[in-house]
Amino acid sequence: MTDIYRRFNPDGKLIIALSVLAAETEDEKNQALKENEFYQLKFPDGKTLRVQTESQVNEFIKTSDVKIEVEKKRPDMILGSQEEILSQVKALSDDNDIDEFMFHLPTAQADLRDKTIQTLAPIHTIHKEKAGIL
């Protein structure tokens, strides 16, 4: 994938967004995945649509005159401790020519977003040069 980007944008900066949350236990990981579950609706013409709730699915089915395939999905997310998250990010970085990662913190829980930020970029450390912030 990165080689295609580089072919068409040789001087471009490849920035990849990842959904990431700090979660120490299996219960915390499952809770984060459950919060981000979604339904994928597939229409006969091949188009797809994502919705968040079962009531949205039912509304689409009720108002549609075509057959809609419905699949409940769990999101692709990186969940874990600091070591687990950074290990997965490093593997992505080592295997691909990615210039920068941008983290999306997909939760409505402000305390979990704060915990994730503190886990990945503790206040007492300085990451400015590594992150390109000068």
- When pLDDT is cut at 50, 70 and 90, the band that residue 133 belongs to is very low
* Helix 82-95 × helix 110-120 angle, to 10°: 60
pLDDT at 97: 86
pTM of the model: 0.76
Region 72-85 average pLDDT: 94
Region 121-126 average pLDDT: 64
Helix ranges, the chain (H)? 2-8, 26-35, 54-63, 82-95, 110-120, 128-131
pLDDT at 130: 53
Q: Residue 35: how many CA atoms within 13 Å on its side-chain side?
A: 16
Nearest alpha carbon to residue 105 among 28, 35, 20: 20
How many Å apart are CA 129 and CA 81, to the nearest integer?
A: 23
Region 27-53 average pLDDT: 95
pLDDT at 128: 52
Q: In the chain, where are the structural domains located? A: 2-36+76-131, 38-73
